[in-house]
Amino acid sequence: MTTIGVLGLQGAVEEHLKQIESLGLQGIVVKKPEQLEEIDGLILPGGESTAMRRLIDQYGFLEPLKQFSDIKKPIFGTCAGMVLAANKLVGSEDSHLNIIDITVKRNAFGRQRDSFEAELDIYGIETPITAVFIRAPYIEKAGENVEVLAKLEEKIVAARQEHILVCAFHPELTADTRFLQLFVQMIEDYKQIAV
Ligand code: GLN
């Protein structure tokens, strides 16, 4: 049975669990670092990256999360989760997990477009998905080993590097599970090589 954990410190946790379960997989809320050992892949949800980082430090998650990535277990960062995963943030000296070679701009679509929906073509998905953006970041620069999966108005909004998948939108807020299935496939691939 494939088990996907959702980092449960802050943000949109429940919606991810529902989507995971709708695919017949097991979803668990990860509230303690030890739980990382029980899961095949981890979702870093949307929410508020600065608040999430504070809680990551408070609950001793920083090193365990980096180790989880070091052994190439798949991680999927959505929105604030993408901010956490990035190795550089525009206008800031600080970054968080440094597990994907992207430079992310936070709250990047401006106040006027605080939250909106867009039809998005995603590499690897046959027809467009409806993507929900909420105070969304975008990827200003992607390293050469990063695969760009989607762009909106020339801005990169979904990408993958090896075992790390990120998107600027909230795939858990629609009934369409196809983006999550990209992540599930990464987990299945990992399990193949890990045995
Ligand atoms: N703007 C938030 C941040 O930078 C992300 C918003 C979201 O996750 N919906 O943390």
Instruction: Tell me how far apart the alpha carbons of residues 50 and 191 are, in angstroms, rounded to a whole number.
Output: 32
Residue 42's identity, in one-letter code, is L
* Terminal Cα distance for the chain, rounded: 14
Instruction: Tell me how far apart the alpha carbons of residues 69 and 72 are, in angstroms, rounded to a whole number.
Output: 5
Asked if residue 49 belongs to a known ligand binding site, the reply is yes
Full-model pTM: 0.97
Pocket probe for ligand 1: among 76, 89, 134, the residue whose CB has the most ligand atoms within 8 Å is 134
Nearest to 187 by CA among 19, 17, 45, 40: 40
Kindly report the protein residue whose alpha carbon is nearest to atom 9 of ligand 1: 134
Q: How far is the CA of 83 from the centre of ligand 1 (A)?
A: 8
- Report pLDDT for 110: 84
Buried-exposed string 144-164: b where 16+ CB fall within 10 A, e elsewhere: eebeebbbbeebbbbbbbebb
Residues, the chain, total?
195
Active site residues: 79, 170, 172
Domains and CATH numbers, the chain: 3-194 (3.40.50.880)
- Report pLDDT for 195: 66
Nearest to 83 by CA among 114, 52, 49: 49
Asked if residue 60 belongs to a known ligand binding site, the reply is no
Asked if residue 47 belongs to a known ligand binding site, the reply is yes
Extract the residue ranges of the chain whose pLDDT is less than 70. Answer: 195
- Report pLDDT for 113: 83
Instruction: Tell me how far apart the alpha carbons of residues 167 and 53 are, in angstroms, rounded to a whole number.
Output: 18
Q: Please, are residues 20 and 30 in contact by the beta-carbon 8 Å criterion?
A: no
Q: Which residue is it, tokens 């999550």?
A: 180
Instruction: Tell me how far apart the alpha carbons of residues 18 and 15 are, in angstroms, rounded to a whole number.
Output: 5
